């Protein structure tokens, strides 16, 4: 039953005897007194504990044998004033915020414990009132997906939506996005919307807004300040620089990846410093050059998903690569070892892929540095077999770029030329 999700045996009996359900606000007397919300449990949890969400936002498990008494409190209401009205200030710039889901665009449902997507102008104004003092925020929900569920078709929808605002009076556009695949989305937008006249930022949060350590509000505030004050264009990811709240980093969308599972400063620019830093509300520019600009805005919002990212490892079965070729893939991005190598047992299949006109690009598994395939004989062999070195392009970004390029042309020479030409600062000097 949903009233007791995840509870069984002794813990279920404990809740029923005390007439407590999931979502109830309670006071628990044990070693100390606890106040919080009874949360659901995982399906295969033990029957010796109840889970309580504290006011700080953290969940704790309490052993029922050590609970002296439990009392039900009046329900906690998490709602906005119905008559709250948002009035635009004509003296402030306008920002468009598009929501795709993720932790930053969600709140806790205190009845079920579920995370639910919510992102309206009213809710933003209520939860982050500082935003209303620096910009007028218009919001639009495109979809509500965990980032692992965002697919290339979602990238197309985001890009098509943004394209419609190329001649608007917005100072910039924010995309609220889950962090796990954020740099894939930022890459596709960087290529398909190259030359977009106003800056676009993707912003997320590592910790939900109900937690005391949440980074959601500060990331949003930093994103808005960046859009208004940076005087730049291009696509960026805006997140915490580290664990403290003093610095927000603005990363170029094709030179960034998520390098930690849970830290607030999870995102890092690869091969350089973040393009901009916001330190104590002041913007500092680190870029050695302006964002690579395309003359005029001519969006190319197409994609071909028949591109593979192959991470080579000792013992990799060449038949796996053969299956990719036989499945009709148009391009293969290798994530090779060191300077850009794969084992010689792969050579016959690579030769076949080259003969039938499949583009093959080489990136490195190393976090930093460039592919140099002329240093060793094995690298030179791979060059002769048709593999194209992609300098220091990040493997995931190379994958997305190849999807975009092969979506716009089927000619091998044009694919190769586009993969080697800088479109959106995907190469780092």
Q: What's the whole-number mean pLDDT along residues 397-405? A: 98
Give, in degrees to the nearest 5, the angle at Cα 253 between 137 and 157. Answer: 60
Q: Work out the pLDDT band at 81, boundaries 50, 70, 90.
A: very low
Lowest mean per-residue pLDDT among 41-50, 100-109, 212-221, 248-257: 100-109
b/e string for 341-366 if b means 16 or more Cβ within 10 A?
bbeeebbebbeebbeeebbbbbbbee
Whether 278 has a pLDDT exceeding 70, the answer reads yes
Final residue before a domain boundary, out of 72, 106, 126: 72
Exposed e or buried b per residue across 71-81, where buried means at least 16 C-beta atoms within 10 angstroms of its C-beta: eeeeeeeeeee
Is 281 a residue whose pLDDT tops 90?
no
Model-level pTM? Answer: 0.83
DSSP label at residue 130: G
Nearest to 177 by CA among 204, 207, 216: 204
**Planar angle of CA 412, 388, 159, nearest 5 degrees:** 65
**Residue 26 burial (CB count, 10 A):** 18
- Per-residue confidence (pLDDT) for residue 56, from 0 to 100: 63
In this structure, are 274 and 321 located in the same domain? no
Is 126 among the domain residues?
A: yes
Note whether residue 98 is domain-resident.
yes
pLDDT greater than 50 at residue 78: no
Scanning the structure block, which residue is given the tokens 């979809």? 143
Please check whether residue 147 is in contact with residue 182, taking contact to mean a CB–CB distance below 8 angstroms.
yes
Shared domain for 268 and 331, answered yes or no, is no
Same domain, yes or no: 99 and 51: no
The pLDDT value recorded for residue 111 is: 47
**For all residues of the chain together, what is the average pLDDT?**
88
* Mean pLDDT for the stretch of residues 275-296: 80
Q: What is the CATH number of the domain that holds 115?
A: 3.40.50.1170
Model pLDDT, residue 53: 82
Let me know whether 230 and 314 are in one domain: no
pLDDT of residue 109: 53
Residue 82 has pLDDT above 90, yes or no: no
Of 84-88, 210-214, 266-270, 407-411, the least confident: 210-214
What pLDDT score does 116 carry?
58
Looking up residue 374, the CATH number of its domain turns out to be 3.40.50.40
Of 285, 320, 340, the one marking the end of a domain is 285
State the pLDDT confidence band at 54, using cuts at 50, 70 and 90.
Answer: confident
Which positions are catalytic?
A: 103, 179-180, 258
Q: Strands 331-336, 359-364: parallel, antiparallel or unpaired by DSSP?
A: parallel
pLDDT band at 141 (very low <50, low <70, confident <90, very high): confident
Position 264 pLDDT exceeds 80: yes
Distance of CA 63 to the CA centre of its chain: 37
Q: What DSSP character marks residue 146? A: -
- Model pLDDT for residues 374-397, shown as the tens digit of each residue: 999 999 999 999 999 999 999 999
For residue 427, tell me if it sits in a domain.
Answer: no
Both tokens assigned to 370: 């460039």
Q: 349 with 229, same domain?
A: no
140 φ, ψ to 5°? -150, 130
* End residue of a domain, out of 17, 40, 72: 72
CA distance from start to end of the chain: 58
Number of domains forming the structure of the chain: 3
Are the C-beta atoms of 336 and 312 separated by less than 8 Å?
yes
Same domain, 381 and 312: yes
Residue 301 confidence (pLDDT)? 98
State which residues form the domain around 374.
307-420
pLDDT for res 126: 62
CB neighbour class for 264 (10 Å; exposed up to 12, middle 13-18, buried from 19): buried
Query: Residue 294 gets which letter from DSSP?
Result: P
pLDDT of residue 22: 87
Q: Would 190 be classed as within a structural domain? A: yes
Q: Is 50 exceeded by the pLDDT of residue 299?
A: yes
Give yes or no: residues 162 and 277 share one domain. Answer: yes
Residue 78 is assigned to a structural domain of this protein? no
**Per-residue pLDDT at 83:** 43
Percent of the chain with pLDDT over 70: 86
Residues 30 and 121 in one domain: no
Q: Which residue has the higher pLDDT, 45 or 330?
A: 330
Q: What is the pLDDT of residue 260?
A: 94
321 with 248, same domain: the answer is no
Alpha-carbon distance of 123 to 125, in angstroms, equals: 5
Is residue 109 a part of any domain in this protein? Answer: yes
| pLDDT tens digits along 90-122 | 899 999 999 898 767 666 554 444 555 555 656
Joined tokens for residue 15 = 């809740």
Domain shared by 122 and 256, yes or no: yes
**Alpha carbon 74 to chain centroid, angstroms:** 38
Domain match, 146 and 68 both:
no
The pLDDT, as a whole number, for residue 179 is 92
């Amino acid at each position: 039953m949903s009233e007791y999700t995840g509870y069984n045996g002794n813990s279920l009996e404990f809740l029923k005897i005390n007439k407590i359900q999931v979502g109830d606000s309670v006071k628990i007397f044990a070693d100390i007194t606890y106040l919080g919300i009874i949360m659901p449990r995982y399906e295969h949890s033990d029957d010796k504990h109840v889970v309580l969400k504290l006011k700080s936002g953290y969940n704790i498990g309490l052993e029922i044998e050590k609970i002296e008494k439990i009392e039900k409190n009046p329900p906690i209401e998490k709602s906005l004033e119905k008559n709250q009205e948002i009035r635009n200030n004509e003296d402030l710039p306008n920002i468009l915020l598009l929501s795709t889901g993720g932790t930053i665009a969600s709140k806790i449902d205190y009845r079920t414990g579920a995370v639910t997507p919510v992102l309206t102008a009213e809710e933003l104004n209520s939860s982050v009132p500082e935003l209303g003092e620096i910009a007028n925020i218009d919001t639009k929900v495109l979809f509500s997906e965990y980032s692992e569920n965002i697919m290339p078709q979602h990238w197309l929808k985001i890009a098509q939506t943004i394209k419609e605002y190329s001649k608007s009076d917005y100072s910039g556009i924010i995309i609220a996005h889950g962090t796990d695949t954020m740099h894939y989305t930022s890459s596709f937008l960087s290529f398909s919307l190259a030359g977009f006249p106003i800056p676009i930022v993707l912003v997320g949060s590592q910790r939900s807004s109900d937690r005391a350590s949440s980074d959601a509000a500060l990331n949003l505030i930093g994103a808005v300040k960046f859009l208004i004050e940076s005087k730049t264009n291009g696509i960026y990811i805006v997140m915490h620089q580290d664990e403290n709240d003093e610095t927000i980093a603005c990363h170029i969308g094709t030179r960034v990846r998520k390098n930690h599972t849970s830290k607030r400063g999870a995102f890092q620019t690869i091969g350089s410093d973040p393009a901009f830093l916001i330190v104590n509300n002041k913007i500092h520019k680190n870029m050695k050059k302006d964002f690579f600009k395309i003359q005029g805005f001519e969006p190319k919002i197409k994609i071909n998903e028949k591109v593979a990212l192959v991470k080579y490892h000792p013992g990799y079965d060449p038949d796996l690569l053969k299956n990719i070729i036989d499945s009709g893939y148009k391009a293969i991005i290798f994530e090779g070892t060191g300077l850009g190598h794969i084992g010689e047992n792969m050579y016959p299949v690579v030769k076949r892929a080259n003969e039938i006109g499949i583009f093959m690009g080489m990136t490195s598994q190393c976090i930093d540095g460039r592919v140099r395939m002329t240093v060793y004989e094995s690298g030179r062999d791979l060059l002769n077999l048709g593999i194209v070195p992609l300098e220091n392009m990040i493997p995931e970004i190379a994958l997305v770029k190849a999807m975009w390029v092969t979506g716009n042309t089927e000619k091998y020479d044009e694919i190769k030329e586009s993969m080697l030409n800088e479109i959106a600062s995907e190469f780092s000097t």
